[in-house]
Amino acid sequence: MTQTSPRLRKAVLPVAGLGTRVLPGTKTTPKELLNVVDRPILSYIVEEARAAGIEHIVFVTGRFKQAIEDYFDHQVELEAQLEAKGKTEILDQLLAELPKPGEMSFVRQMAPKGLGHAVWCARDVVGDEPFAVILPDVIVDAEPGALKQLVAVFNETGGNVIGVERVAESETHKYGIVDPEGDSSGRRIAMKGMVEKPAQGTAPSNLSISGRYILQPRLFDLLADQGKGAGGEIQLTDAMARLMTEQDFTAVEYEGVTHDCGDKIGLLRANVALALKRPDLGEAARKAVSDLL
């Protein structure tokens, strides 16, 4: 029952979370603006979205997240100072991140009711068309980007497409887990269900849902009356499981390395890994790490 779909144009980025796993660093700085090498986490996420063909990014913000909107705006004094000092390379980098007119919208999640509720808050901006959801504290080091890999499958299959990666069986209780239909050895896997953070020993597979989704707008109708799930929050996976009774879902095991930057060690690993890959910093970074070890 493959569904034909309009072209994917919009992405929802839920950025209202408090970042409690990386406190105290997030006491006054949104976790999405914590640095990985010399750029905020969110810079990598927006770059991935644009590379996948996304034309409109909807940020779902919360209290104390004004800095995110400010980051994607002109810093007139800074830009003038950089231009006056002839620092055109860094100025060009700053200007390249600015949105085109109408490329970004910001909506407010008034209460921390979970990821499903955050996505639902974007319903009026997304409208009646398919949309991506990108978790903004998960950097995927991949070429092409993880979302672009999902878009390639979506353009063939329509329906709903979920990014997954394999985790150790002992870790499945920490994640949303896909219940595959039939063979799950390939990179494109039909789905018959999913479960949020299953009890140890009960997971239907080791395919964890890893922060990249392409979803149909029917999901918003289901989120409107979705009850609380794991953690007492409105879970996106619960609404997706209901949608699966109506529409096709395909899991895609994308190629790339995932960095959970909402975790202290994950953030550290991302900084080291991405610094080592940089042509301008890699050699110095490798020496610094080697010296420390």
Domain boundaries, the chain: 10-292
pLDDT the model gives residue 174: 85
pLDDT the model gives residue 176: 85
Q: State the CB neighbour count (10 A cutoff) for residue 119.
A: 25
The answer, yes or no, to whether residue 3 has pLDDT greater than 50, is no
Bridge partners (DSSP) of residue 178 are: 194
Nearest-angstrom CA–CA distance, 73 and 99? 8
E strand or H helix at 250: strand 249-253
Decide the pairing of beta strands 207-215 and 131-134: antiparallel
The answer, yes or no, to whether residue 99 has pLDDT greater than 90, is yes
Say if domain 10-292 classifies as CATH 3.90.550.10: yes
Per-position b or e across 142-175, b if 16+ CB within 10 A of its CB: beebbbbbbbebbeebbbbbbbbbebeeeebeeb
Nearest-angstrom CA–CA distance, 107 and 145? 26
pLDDT the model gives residue 2: 46
pLDDT digits 0-9 by tens, 183-228? 766 789 999 888 888 888 899 999 999 899 999 999 999 999 988 8
Q: What contacts 24+ positions apart, CB below 8 Å, involve 259-263?
A: 259/36, 259/138, 259/139, 259/140, 259/141, 260/137, 260/138, 261/31, 261/34, 261/36, 261/41, 261/137, 261/138, 261/139, 262/17, 262/19, 262/21, 262/22, 262/31, 262/137, 262/138, 263/21, 263/22
**Helices assigned H by DSSP within 190-249:** 218-224, 236-243
